[in-house]
Amino acid sequence: MHLIVVGLSHKTAPVEIREKLAVPDSRLGEAVSRLCTYPGVKEGMLLSTCNRVEAYAVVDEVESGYGSIQEFLADTHLALSSEQLTPHLYCHTGDRAIAHLFRVAASLDSMIIGESQILGQLKDAFETALMHKTTGVVMNKVVKKAISVAKRVRTETKISEMAVSVSYAAVELARKIFSNLDQKTVLLVGAGEMAKLAARHLIAQGVRHVRITTRTPQHAIDLAAKFGGVPVLFDQFRDEMASADIVLVSTGAAHYLVSVEDVQRAVKERMNRPMFLIDISVPRNIDPAVRHVDNAFLFDIDDLKHRVEQNRAERVQEAETAERMVVEEVVSLLDWMKSLEVTPTIVALRSRVDEIKRAEVQKVLGRLAHLSPQDRELVEGMASSIVNKLIHRTMVTLKTEVNSSSGPAFVEAARRFFHLDRAASADPGVDRQTEEAPCLLHESEESEHAERAPEASSPKRAN
Partner 1 sequence: MAAIWVMITMVLYFVATVTFLAYLLRRSEALSKVSLGITALGFLTHTIALATGMAEASSSSTPSFHAALSFFSWTLILVFLVVEFRHRIHVLGSFMVPLALVSLGSAAALPETVPTLQPVFKTLWFHVTLSMLGTVGFAVAFVAGVMYLIQDSLLKSKRFNVLYSKLPALDFLDHLNQQSIVLGFPLLTLGIVTGAMSAEFVRGSYVTWNPEQTWALVTWLFYFVVLLGRLTVGWRAKRAAYLTVIGFACVILTLVGVLLKGHGALS
Which spans of this chain sit near partner 1 (rule: CB under 8 A)?
A: 173, 175-180, 268, 270-274, 291, 294-295, 297, 299, 303, 306-307, 310
- Tell the smallest beta-carbon distance from residue 177 to partner 1 (Å): 5
Closest CA to 211 of 193, 192, 194, 236: 236
> Of 143 and 170, which has the nearer Cβ to partner 1?
170
CA angle at 67 for the pair 66 and 71, rounded to the nearest 5° = 115
> Of 268 and 416, which has the nearer Cβ to partner 1?
268
> CA distances (Å), 447 to each of 336, 381, 434, 440, 443, in order?
31, 13, 17, 13, 11
Closest CA to 177 of 230, 238, 268, 244: 244
Q: Is 324 exposed, middle or buried (0-12, 13-18, 19+ CB in 10 A)?
A: exposed
Q: Are 289 and 258 in contact (CB under 8 A)?
A: no
- Tell the smallest beta-carbon distance from residue 70 to partner 1 (Å): 44
In whole angstroms, give the CA distance from residue 459 to residue 438.
10
Among 36, 50, 91, 439, the one annotated catalytic = 50
Which strands form 209-213's sheet, in the order they lie side by side? 230-231, 209-213, 185-189, 246-249, 275-279, 296-300
Q: Is 36 a catalytic residue?
A: no
283 prior amide bond cis, ω within 30: yes
Closest CA to 356 of 390, 392, 394, 393: 390
Which strands form 41-48's sheet, in the order they lie side by side? 41-48, 52-59, 2-9, 90-93
- Tell the smallest beta-carbon distance from residue 287 to partner 1 (Å): 16
Backbone torsions φ then ψ of 431, nearest 5 degrees:
-60, -40
> CA distances (Å), 227 to each of 8, 25, 38, 318, in order?
35, 22, 43, 34
- Tell the smallest beta-carbon distance from residue 324 to partner 1 (Å): 21
**CB under 8 A, 24+ apart: contacts of 116-119:** 116/154, 116/160, 116/164, 117/49, 117/165, 118/49, 119/147, 119/150, 119/151
Strands 185-189 and 52-59: unpaired
In whole angstroms, give the CA distance from residue 250 to residue 348.
63
> CA distances (Å), 87 to each of 8, 71, 83, 403, 442, in order?
10, 14, 7, 32, 55
In whole angstroms, give the CA distance from residue 265 to residue 272.
10
Q: Are 419 and 412 in contact (CB under 8 A)?
A: no
In whole angstroms, give the CA distance from residue 7 to residue 48.
10
- Tell the smallest beta-carbon distance from residue 169 to partner 1 (Å): 10
In whole angstroms, give the CA distance from residue 377 to residue 363.
14
